[in-house]
């Protein structure tokens, strides 16, 4: 009986032939796949808690449910967990931080006072791991956001505080970019909105526009920092009105040449971000995606290998947008092993991307142009059963990470040795 390595290679060679018949070079696809960095959100590791203070509750209309053992309580634990997750995911990726993950060595440093030095440990670690860093100012879980407003607040002093936070965060982003030699995407999401029907929808939006203008007024090289803005339809406690709606940020990004962030859970339940990419690419230079899985609402479930994930990746690949799309993940599930959640979601994202890259897109586009819509549908359906999984297994082996579900054994061992001791 052949050993596993030889079997995986055999399956790959057969798959390679099958795809070659359609002009797809699987070796080349794997070279290109290796170049794609997915941004892993650090907040899956500790339920969006951060390290400002032990008792801080999560506010801002987002929610994490579950109480699985072993949550990271310190930055070192979180880094250790991220290392474990990264070791089980093929390719070189990025880590996405939030301002609440600052390390202030016991000193109380408010959000508007944060400096690059509070993220030095993260940068040192990122260098050592060979990963880039992305960033997010944290406009929630703070007394000054307790009434549901931040950058659009009617009180000038509160607004000012959050503007200062935004400015501080862009500097931290630039520091990441400079130190790590890869631009940091600094993404602004705010929770501002009303539970019930507002009378004045315009003024808070006008204030938000002005606050953003001020935050972005300081020029920072795109070599170091890229600004993104993230819209939302509703949150818990902001069901009737969200200041930073889709139209608001779409307009803002287009006018001010920032990145637009599309979060898969931030639209009406039957509305999909996959169908927005090709529109927005006409009007913005680059996009940021928050790949997530909304189950009936913006629930931030772990990303699974579903139709929308596949459609997102297909749109990026078919449009040739890989260079202009920053693929970030945004889910948080505390009901299962948190490292398992990262691994499942990230491997799925890469798997779906690979499957999209294996498509003979040129030929399909030709069918479409010629009006041969029968062949288009026939091939799209047949390709679903093509041996892309053999290419995936081979890629994992090539990248020295566990093949198929073998990673689960490692997560279970880590749970026993590390997580259960916390
Ligand atoms: C909230 C947004 C936002 C957050 C993170 C923690 O609805 O999706 O991106 O999930 O910043
Ligand atoms: Zn998001």
- What local confidence, expressed as pLDDT, does residue 15 receive? 98
362 in a structural domain:
no
**47 shares a domain with 30:** no
**351 shares a domain with 253:** yes
Beta bridge partners of 301: 293
**192 shares a domain with 87:** yes
**129 shares a domain with 16:** no
Ranges of residues in the chain with a pLDDT under 50 are 1
**245 shares a domain with 130:** yes
- What local confidence, expressed as pLDDT, does residue 54 receive? 64
Nearest by Cα to 294 from 247, 248, 338, 332? 332
Strand ranges inside 105-200, DSSP E: 132-134, 184-188, 193-194
379 in a structural domain:
no
- Structural domain for 415, as ranges: 1-35+387-422
On the CB side of 205, CA atoms within 13 Å amount to: 18
- Among the candidates 357, 379, 401, a domain finishes at 357
Q: CB–CB of 37/91 below 8 Å?
A: yes
**273 shares a domain with 411:** no
- Residue environment code for 394-408, b if the CB has 16+ CB neighbours within 10 A, otherwise e: bbbbebebbbeeebe
- What local confidence, expressed as pLDDT, does residue 53 receive? 80
**267 shares a domain with 244:** yes
3-state secondary structure of 226: strand
Q: Which two tokens stand for residue 412?
A: 């279970």
Element (H, E) at 38: strand 38-41
- Tell me the per-residue pLDDT of 22-43, one tens digit each, with 9 for 90 and over: 999 999 999 999 999 999 999 9
Question: Which residue's alpha carbon is nearest to atom 5 within ligand 1?
Answer: 330
Active site residue 372: no
Angle made by CA atoms 322, 323, 328, in degrees to the nearest 5: 65
User: In Å, what is the CA distance from 420 to each residue of 69, 86, 163, 339, 412?
Assistant: 6, 20, 41, 13, 10
Strands 241-242 and 193-194 come out as antiparallel
**53 shares a domain with 26:** no
Q: What is the CATH number of the domain that holds 292?
A: 3.20.20.150
169 in a structural domain:
yes
- Among the candidates 338, 357, 376, a domain finishes at 357
**234 shares a domain with 170:** yes
- Among the candidates 339, 357, 375, a domain finishes at 357
- What local confidence, expressed as pLDDT, does residue 2 receive? 62
**410 shares a domain with 321:** no
Question: How many structural domains comprise the chain?
Answer: 2
**158 shares a domain with 297:** yes
pTM above 0.95, yes or no: yes
**46 shares a domain with 22:** no
The best mutation among 50, 56, 62, 288 to test binding of ligand 1, ranked by most ligand atoms within 8 Å of the C-beta, falls on: 62
CA separation for the pair 177, 130 (Å, rounded): 13
Query: Choosing from 16, 41, 71, 266, which is the catalytic residue?
Result: 266
377 in a structural domain:
no
Q: What residue ranges line ligand 1, CB within 6 angstroms?
A: 43, 48, 62, 136, 189, 230, 232, 263, 290, 298, 330
- What local confidence, expressed as pLDDT, does residue 161 receive? 98
CA separation for the pair 24, 312 (Å, rounded): 20
User: In Å, what is the CA distance from 77 to each residue of 30, 124, 291?
Assistant: 32, 15, 25
- Tell me the per-residue pLDDT of 86-130, one tens digit each, with 9 for 90 and over: 999 999 999 999 999 999 999 999 999 999 999 999 999 999 999
């Amino acid at each position: 009986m052949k050993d596993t390595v030889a079997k995986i290679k055999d399956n790959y060679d057969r798959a390679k032939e099958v795809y070659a018949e359609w002009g797809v070079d699987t070796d080349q696809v794997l070279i290109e796949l290796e170049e794609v960095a997915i941004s892993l959100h650090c907040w899956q590791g500790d339920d969006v808690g951060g390290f400002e203070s032990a008792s801080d509750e999560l506010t801002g209309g987002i929610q994490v449910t579950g109480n699985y053992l072993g949550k990271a309580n310190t930055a070192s634990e979180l880094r250790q967990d991220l290392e474990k997750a990264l070791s089980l995911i093929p390719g070189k990726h990025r880590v996405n931080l939030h301002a609440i993950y600052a390390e202030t060595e016991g000193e109380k440093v408010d959000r508007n006072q944060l400096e690059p030095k509070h993220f030095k440990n993260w940068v040192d670690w990122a260098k050592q791991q060979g990963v880039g860093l992305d960033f997010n100012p944290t406009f929630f879980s703070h007394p000054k956001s307790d009434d549901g407003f931040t950058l659009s607040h009617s009180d000038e002093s509160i607004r000012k505080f959050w503007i200062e936070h935004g400015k501080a965060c862009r500097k931290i982003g630039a520091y990441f970019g400079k130190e790590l030699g890869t631009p940091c995407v600094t993404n602004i999401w705010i929770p501002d909105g009303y539970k019930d029907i507002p009378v004045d929808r315009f003024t808070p939006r006008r204030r938000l526009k002005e606050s953003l203008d001020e935050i972005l007024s300081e020029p920072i090289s795109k070599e170091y920092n890229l600004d993104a803005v993230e819209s939302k339809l509703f949150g818990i406690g902001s069901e009737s009105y969200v200041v930073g709606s889709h139209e608001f940020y779409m307009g803002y990004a287009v006018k001010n040449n920032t990145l637009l962030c599309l979060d898969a859970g931030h639209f009406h339940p039957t509305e999909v971000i996959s169908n927005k990419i090709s529109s927005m690419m006409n009007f913005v230079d680059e996009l940021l995606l928050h790949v997530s899985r909304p189950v009936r609402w913006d629930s931030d479930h772990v990303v699974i290998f579903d139709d929308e994930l596949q459609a997102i990746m297909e749109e990026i690949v078919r449009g040739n947008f890989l260079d202009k799309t920053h693929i970030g993940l945004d889910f948080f599930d505390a009901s299962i092993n948190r490292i398992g959640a990262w691994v499942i979601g990230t491997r799925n994202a890469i798997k779906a991307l690979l499957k999209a890259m294996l498509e003979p897109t040129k030929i399909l586009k030709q069918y479409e142009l010629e009006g041969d819509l029968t062949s288009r549908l026939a091939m799209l359906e047949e390709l679903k059963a093509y041996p892309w999984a053999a290419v995936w297994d081979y890629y994992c082996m090539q990248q020295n990470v566990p093949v198929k579900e073998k990673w689960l054994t490692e997560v279970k061992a880590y749970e026993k040795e590390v997580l259960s001791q916390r």
